Homo-oligomer: A and B are copies of this chain.
Amino acid sequence: MSSEPFKVGLLGFGTVGSAFAELLEERAAEIERFNGRRPVLGGVLTRSRGNFEEILADADVVVELMGGLEPAREYLLAAMRAGKDVVSANKQLLSQYGEELFETARQHDVRLRFEAAVAGVVPVVRVLEESLSATPIERIHGIVNGTTNFILTEMSNGASYPEALKEAQRRGFAEADPSDDVTGRDAAAKMAILARLAFGTPVHLNDVRYEGIEHLHRDDLEYARELGLGLKLIGTAERRQGGLSVRVHPTFLYSGHPLAAVSGPFNAVTVESETITEITMSGPGAGGRQTASAVLGDVVSAMTGGARAPAPPLPLRLIEDVENAFYLHLDVADRPGVLAAVTQVLGEHDVSIKSVVQRGMGERARLVMVTHQVLESRLRTAIERVGEFEFVRSAPRIIRVIEEEFL
- A→B interface (CB under 8 Å): 23, 27, 30-31, 33-35, 115, 121-123, 126-127, 130-136, 200, 256, 258, 261, 263-264, 275-284, 289-290, 292-294, 296-297, 299-301, 304-308, 311, 407
Q: Are A304 and B308 in contact (CB under 8 A)?
A: yes
Among candidates B23, B290, B297, residue contacting A130 with C-beta atoms closer than 8 Å: B297
A263 to B255, CA, bound (A): 12
CA distance A122 to B35 in the complex (A): 25
Asked if B135 and A293 sit within 8 Å, CB to CB, the answer is yes
B283 and A279 within 8 A (CB): yes
Q: How far is the CB of A41 from chain B (nearest CB, A)?
A: 14
Contact of A276 among B30, B121, B136, B307 (CB under 8 A): B121
CB distance from A102 to the nearest CB of B (A): 13
Interface of A is mostly: mixed
Given the interface pairs A283-B279, A311-B34, the reply to whether A299 lies near B407 with Cβ below 8 Å is no
Q: How far is the CB of A157 from chain B (nearest CB, A)?
A: 13
| Complex: A296 Cα to B135 Cα, angstroms | 9
| Residues from chain B with Cβ under 8 Å of A256 in the complex | 263
Determine the distance from Cα of A306 to Cα of B303 in the docked complex, in whole angstroms: 9
Report which of B35, B276, B301, B308 forms a contact with A283, defined as CB distance below 8 A: B276
How far apart sit A132 and B296, CA to CA, in the bound complex (Å)?
9
A281-B279 in contact given A34-B311, A307-B304 (Cβ < 8 Å)? yes
Whether B301 pairs with A23 at a CB distance below 8 angstroms is: no
Which B residues touch A292, using CB under 8 A?
Answer: 275
Residue in contact with A131 in the complex, picked from B23, B126, B136, CB distance below 8 Å: B126
Name A34's closest neighbour in chain B (CB-CB): B311
Is B280 a contact partner of A282 (Cβ separation < 8 A)? yes
The reply to whether B297 and A136 contact each other, CB–CB distance below 8 Å, is no
Please tell me which one of the listed residues B27, B132, B279, B284 contacts residue A136 in the complex, with CB atoms under 8 A apart. Answer: B27
Which residue of B34, B136, B278 contacts A308 across the interface (Cβ within 8 Å)? B34
17 contacts between A and B (CB under 8 A): A35-B133, A35-B308, A121-B277, A121-B279, A123-B279, A126-B127, A130-B300, A131-B294, A132-B297, A133-B297, A261-B261, A275-B289, A276-B290, A277-B283, A279-B282, A281-B281, A305-B305
